[in-house]
Chain A
């Protein structure tokens, strides 16, 4: 018998995920809070490709000629700049959001690779200080666990103004993750929902920030590089103001940057992608004559050596990874599948860091779950991943004839889409056209 009914039609405005979210909102009367980063489609570094060497330029031999990867961070004012062997650093992630073992694993891997790791909202743990040769100490709006001894024990200081996943918003840690140790470090009652401040308590604008930076330098005797971390929004102005305020380093986090817990509406609808943000930041530094004087570290959706090379070709001095480091250590891996199911998700789709029930033992304070991540093993996985990224970035740089990753340049890149060309400020492939600038 023929079925004459018209085919079922999916609504473009109300696809199943939108319907489900409306139903959830109607049931619960509150926004969705989740971890991870933006899930929507965004223009990314994948929309750029390198122009490998040919007749007009010659490449370096893949297995024979060196392509250096070392960088020096904090050369502007600090008495003790940081020397890193690779231009990939580990971004700030809080103890509280992550378990102490995960923090330790990050530190071990970073140390073995000759790079830095970073504290987070909630202060410095002994485990991460011990395991990290180079540790960046964050000064956040909440000032949880903030302590001058740790400030002096840090190798650099990062004043966090904002973060790519939630520029303009503060941190969030739900009660189920506030164990006694986390609560004590933050001077908060155990088990409460903790919502960090979005503004610093003792400064408000760029002129104040300059004085704040001066204070931090005075306390640490001008030894430590001072970073200013911003979420990517009004990037040109923010970078210029951070430089004017006296930053040694600008850390720029695009909207693909991850989070332990934030409102979904914030993650998906605030900020600009990393791709245009890098170009805006580099332009701002160049206009001030500060490109390479003030180092630029870019984060937010960096996943591969290709992303590293492309960010550096656009003018970044280094990149920073957060989510990708956790993925390397097992986040979203198809193990303990029943625990993903208990959270109502599947490996590959998990964003449940906020629950404290991380199936792979990374973003949890539960001893049983934490035991799933041995710091040595996590560090080994992350080290392998970082090594791979470096090899990939070197491969691309050599193909472009570059003997150092820092020698990559925008001229090595073209864009596959008009939007990427406009955002990155490189020509659309096959043309000499950069949208917004007219033909050259």
Chain B
């Protein structure tokens, strides 16, 4: 285990060391202490390494991650795991806005609440939030899954494409072109798999499914008032 104290090591040095991983180092364990809300910690990782961050982080922690497993023992700022390609990010705390924005693969688990626009323009990432999410979550969501154990704010899934949303709690309003869909046995199985991968102990039976009505895929003047 390599321990980096961010009160003594610069962010640049930390990220450079993580980018320079090669050979056996790629699978090493890293622990980062005193993150103190610093932005862009552990961004652009490209190796199957384990990174544990003890404390709160600022914007874009784990941004554009590939392969790495990142655990944040604290709250995180905007855009945690933005554009994640693969790997796993676990937040043991709350996440601010735009968690997992535009993520293309991998998984983000937030063991707490996430603020507004969680999963905005997601493109294949799976996001599991055990608590609640704010307004405009899954806005423009293209692909992947957003699982919410708690409640969701207004305008869920506005202009959603092919992403799938599962919600256990209360939905405070659907966005344009987002509708509730049947929860088939196949979807329940899919959700059970996601919860298991996320390591979250929740019963799929209590969730509802939301997705695109696909009415806005082609501009139609008769839908103009939906925009």
A contacts, CB < 8 Å to B: 28-30, 142-143, 146-148, 151-152, 175, 186-189, 192-193, 197, 201-203, 208, 211-212, 214-215, 218-222
Contacts and interface: CB of A to CB of B under 8 A. Distances in A.
18 contacts: A30-B219, A30-B221, A143-B121, A147-B83, A148-B85, A151-B44, A152-B44, A188-B142, A189-B162, A192-B218, A201-B82, A201-B121, A202-B82, A202-B97, A202-B101, A203-B78, A211-B60, A218-B43
Contacts of A212: 59-60
Given A30-B224, A211-B40, 5 more contacts: A146-B102, A151-B44, A188-B161, A202-B98, A220-B44
A218 B140 contact: no
Contacts of A211: 39-40, 58-60, 78
Sorted nearest first, the 9 A-B pairs with minimum C-beta distance are A219-B44, A202-B79, A143-B102, A148-B64, A29-B221, A201-B101, A192-B217, A202-B101, A215-B40
A222 B46 CA distance: 17
A391 to B, nearest CB: 43
B171 interface: no
Contacts of A215: 39-40, 43, 59-60, 63
A201 B120 contact: yes
Interface string B116-153: 01001101100000000000000110110000000000
Contacts of A143: 83, 101-102, 121, 123
A228 to B, nearest CB: 17
Nearest to B66: A148
A208 B78 contact: yes
A320 to B, nearest CB: 26
Given A143-B102, A202-B120, A211-B58, A218 B40 contact: yes
Nearest to B219: A193
Contact of B85 (A30, A142, A147, A193): A147
A185 to B, nearest CB: 11
Given A202-B82, A212-B60, A215-B39, A193 B221 contact: no
A420 to B, nearest CB: 39
A191 to B, nearest CB: 8
B15 interface: yes
Given A193-B219, A201-B121, A222 B60 contact: no
Given A148-B46, A203-B78, A219 B64 contact: yes
A193 to B, nearest CB: 5
A6 to B, nearest CB: 40
A188 B10 CA distance: 40
Interface string B66-101: 100000000000110011010000000000011001
Contacts of A219: 15, 40, 43-44, 63-64
A188 B143 CA distance: 8
B189 interface: no
Contacts of A175: 217-218
Given A197-B121, A215-B40, A219-B44, A202 B78 contact: yes
A269 to B, nearest CB: 19
Contacts of A30: 219, 221, 224
Given A175-B218, A192-B218, A187 B104 contact: yes
B11 A218 contact: yes
B7 interface: no
A177 B124 CA distance: 23
Contacts of A192: 161, 217-218
Contacts of B101: 143, 201-202
A244 B198 CA distance: 40
B12 interface: yes
A94 B63 CA distance: 24
A87 B29 CA distance: 48
Nearest to A222: B12
A202 B60 contact: yes
Contacts of A189: 161-162, 217
Given A188-B161, A211-B58, A147 B43 contact: no
B19 interface: yes
A218 B15 contact: yes
A29 B224 CA distance: 9
B16 interface: yes
B83 A187 contact: no
Nearest to B222: A29
Contacts of A28: 221
A212 B97 CA distance: 14
A142 B19 CA distance: 26
Contacts of B219: 30, 193
Nearest to B163: A187
Given A148-B66, A192-B217, A187 B44 contact: no
Interface in B1-23: 11-12, 15-16, 19
Contacts of B11: 218
A30 B219 CA distance: 9
B175 to A, nearest CB: 14
